[in-house]
């Protein structure tokens, strides 16, 4: 499997695309099913709490009064505020923006690029002559937390059309490619070392990584999106964190979310 992934990454870097997303996903799921044979695949939506019984019990108690609850309430209020032209977020999304997070990220034929939920929120604002939001700011976190909350119980069904294969392949390459002073890839922690301890924390499996964002992290003391976590991970291995919603991170999210197809959404979530 490692040899095959290495070959695909090499070919992708040479400009060729030999992507078979569904075969990739099946191999991805099989890897975790064999590594964690006693864990139901759907339980990985809870991240490391699927692998650590003691911390899972603490986390479930905390979920009775979750720290992201206020963010969801703030997001609900912000989502309903009309723009200056009388339109609203509801006019920009299917089903008026309710229960649509499982559609994202998606490949957009018109722009020939991956559109994440956060990018779609700002595109909606731009289309209605409103200033864009800071991708790492509270307001973006609140709005996407509310939208994620309305999609709880839905399942990812991300599509990769032929035109999106290059973006998918670039995201896959990013996931498996080593970088930084520590020479780590995303897969180093979340495949090779998944289930092991890093300091005092159990490393989660990537098979559930896209399900629960945005998340309230106690380290951040705020709700933040998946790209904030990408930036943090890159910096932790001694690499340069890219800008949120950069093409590389959007493609990484595209690949990672496709790997999570069939998984139940349960965002927003709380994490340490």
d(CA 128, CA 68): 28
Mean local confidence (pLDDT), 6-16: 42
76 to 136, 141, 186: CA distances (angstroms): 18, 11, 33
Q: Is the pLDDT of residue 14 over 80?
A: no
233 counts as catalytic: yes
pLDDT in tens, 177-216: 999 999 999 999 999 999 999 888 899 999 999 999 999 9
Mean pLDDT of 168-175: 98
What token pair was written down for 270? 């709380």
- For the ranges 11-20, 175-184, 232-241, the lowest mean pLDDT is seen at 11-20
Mean pLDDT (whole number) for 161-181: 97
Which pLDDT tens digit goes with each residue over 111-124? Answer: 999 999 999 999 99
* Cβ count near 113 (within 10 Å): 16
**CB burial of residue 233 (10 Å; 0-12, 13-18, 19+):** middle
Q: Specify the CATH number of the domain 2-65+160-271.
A: 1.10.760.10
Tell me: the pLDDT tens digits for 79-102?
999 999 999 999 999 999 999 999
* Whether the domain at 2-65+160-271 and the domain at 69-149 fall into the same CATH topology: yes
How many Å apart are CA 140 and CA 144, to the nearest integer? 6
Domain 69-149 CATH class label: mainly alpha
Domain ranges of the chain: 2-65+160-271, 69-149
Q: Note the pTM of the prediction, 2 decimals.
A: 0.92
Gyration radius of the chain over CA positions: 18
Give pLDDT, residue 272.
84
Residue from 92, 186, 189, 233 carrying the catalytic annotation? 233
């Amino acid at each position: 499997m490692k040899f095959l992934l290495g070959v695909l990454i090499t070919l992708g870097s040479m400009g060729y695309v030999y992507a078979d997303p569904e075969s990739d996903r099946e191999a991805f799921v099989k890897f975790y099913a064999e590594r964690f044979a006693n864990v139901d695949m759907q339980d990985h939506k809870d991240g490391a709490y699927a692998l650590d019984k003691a911390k899972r019990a603490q986390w479930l108690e905390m979920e009775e009064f979750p720290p992201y609850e206020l963010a969801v309430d703030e997001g609900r209020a912000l989502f309903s505020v009309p723009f200056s032209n009388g339109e609203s977020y509801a006019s920009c999304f299917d089903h008026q923006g309710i229960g649509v997070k499982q559609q994202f990220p998606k490949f957009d034929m018109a722009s020939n690029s991956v559109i994440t939920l956060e990018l779609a929120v700002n595109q909606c604002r731009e289309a209605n002559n409103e200033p864009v939001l800071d991708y790492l700011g509270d307001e973006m976190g609140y709005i996407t937390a509310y939208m994620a909350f309305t999609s709880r119980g839905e399942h990812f069904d991300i599509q990769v059309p032929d035109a999106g294969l290059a973006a998918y392949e670039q995201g896959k390459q990013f996931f498996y490619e080593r970088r930084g002073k520590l020479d780590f890839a995303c897969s180093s922690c979340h495949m090779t070392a998944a289930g092991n301890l890093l300091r005092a924390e159990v490393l989660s499996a990537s098979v559930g990584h896209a399900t629960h964002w945005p998340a309230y992290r106690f380290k951040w003391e705020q709700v933040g999106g998946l790209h904030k976590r990408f930036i943090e991970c890159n910096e932790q291995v001694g690499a340069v964190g890219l800008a949120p919603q950069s093409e590389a991170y959007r493609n990484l999210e595209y690949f990672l979310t496709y790997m999570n197809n069939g998984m139940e959404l349960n965002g927003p979530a709380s994490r340490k």
